[in-house]
Structure 1
Amino acid sequence: MGSALDQLDRFTDEPTKQMLRGLIKRKEKYENYRKQSLKWLVAAAVCAVSFCLFAVGKGLGRNGILAELLNDSIYLFWILAAAFAYSTAHYFKKKEEKAEGDFHKLRCEIIQKSTDLWPQPEEWKSRETVFKVMKQHYDINLYFESK
């Protein structure tokens, strides 16, 4: 994380680098929650499809769906597994949305304060270098506030 940011010593001061480090950490946190949410959503879908395939293979519904669901515990296992995976995906989705909001808020703050962070005309030119490094190495757009 620090290698590309450490190369910016001559273009930024220490408080600005701390803000950029915080932005990178928030992006990594957001990306991690996004991956976790997707992983658990896929797990929920796999459990639901497995339940359906298992139910069709065993002929669920011939003697009454409720009676068969209560008689065979494997059905309960698949239902609970799918419910658990879905609720975990929902939990991580909420965390993802909060982390995305925090990330976007700090990113917009840096964009809005860029005139204060690089006040001199020669420093303003170095701002372009910092923004390019953030875009190329961390995929963080500091040019525009829109997502």
Structure 2
Amino acid sequence: MASIERDSNGIKEYHEVIIEALIEAKQKEEKAEKTMMKWGLLFLGILAAGIIYIVLKLMSGESVSSYLSLLLSDIIIVVWLAVLFFCFYYFDVKSKKYEKAEKDFEELKEDVIDRASDIWNSNQLEVKRISQYHELKNKYDINLYHK
């Protein structure tokens, strides 16, 4: 938020703490999504490069008695397989981290929506709530108007 209001003791108001928690959860979700996408694209790129290499190797005209022996005799293919498994593992880890961040954000968002009347419990705060909802929607893409 542009300015965080504090009471006379310098302590943040409850609704401001909730808004900050929502923003942090959304940013954590977005960061996890970007990381997951990077690992996914890296995995697909390495997969495509390896498939192209294997196709070119097969088209080179070498006689192949066994595809397994072709795969295991070429050090490039063995390294490619190891890197491919490593990238898939990290993509899976990052995917689970993203799912957890997304779930945490959605739970917090639903909790805020359900408890909105308790959080913004005065007429003055009710007016502020509408402006905060609008700012969250426009600035952070957090929609608190509905679940």
Q: TM-score range by the shorter chain?
A: 0.7 to 0.9
Cα deviations by residue, 1:88-139 (Å, 9 ceiling, x for unpaired): 1110110111111111111111111110122223432221101001111111
Q: May I ask how many residue pairs the two structures share in their alignment?
A: 139
CA distance in 1, matches of 2:35, 2:124: 43
> Which residue number in structure 1 is paired with residue 87 of structure 2?
85
Return the match for 1:140 from 139, 142, 145: 142
| Larger CA Rg, structure 1 vs 2 | 2
Match of residue 108 from structure 2: 106
Are the aligned partners of 1:43 and 1:82 in contact in 2 as well (CA < 8 Å)? no
Unaligned runs of 5+ residues in structure 1 are none
Residue pairs, 1:42-57, within 5 angstroms: 42-57=41-56
In structure 1, what is the equivalent of residue 35 of structure 2? 36
> Which secondary structure state, in structure 2, belongs to the residue aligned with residue 59 of structure 1?
helix
Q: Once the two structures are aligned, what percentage of the paired residues are identical?
A: 28
Q: Which residue does the alignment assign to 1:6?
A: 2
**Corresponding position: 1:121 with 2:123:** yes
CA distance in 2, matches of 1:53, 1:31: 33
RMSD over aligned Cα, in angstroms?
1.8
2:13 aligned with 1:17, yes or no?
A: no
Contact 1:37 1:93 in 2 (8 A): yes
Unaligned 5+ segments in structure 2 are 7-11
- Larger CA deviation: 16-25 vs 118-127: 118-127
What is the DSSP-based 3-state SS (H/G/I as helix, E as strand, rest coil) of the residue aligned with 1:140? coil
Residues 41-80 of structure 1 show CA distances to partners (whole Å, capped at 9, x for unaligned) of 1111111111110011111772321111111110011111
User: If the length of structure 1 is used for normalisation, what is the TM-score?
Assistant: 0.86
Partners in 2 of 1:127 and 1:78 — Cα distance? 54
Q: Distance in 2 between matches of 1:48 and 1:133?
A: 42
**Residue 9 of structure 1: CA displacement?**
3.4
Structure 1 match to 2:75: 73
Give the C-alpha shift of residue 18 in structure 1. 1.1
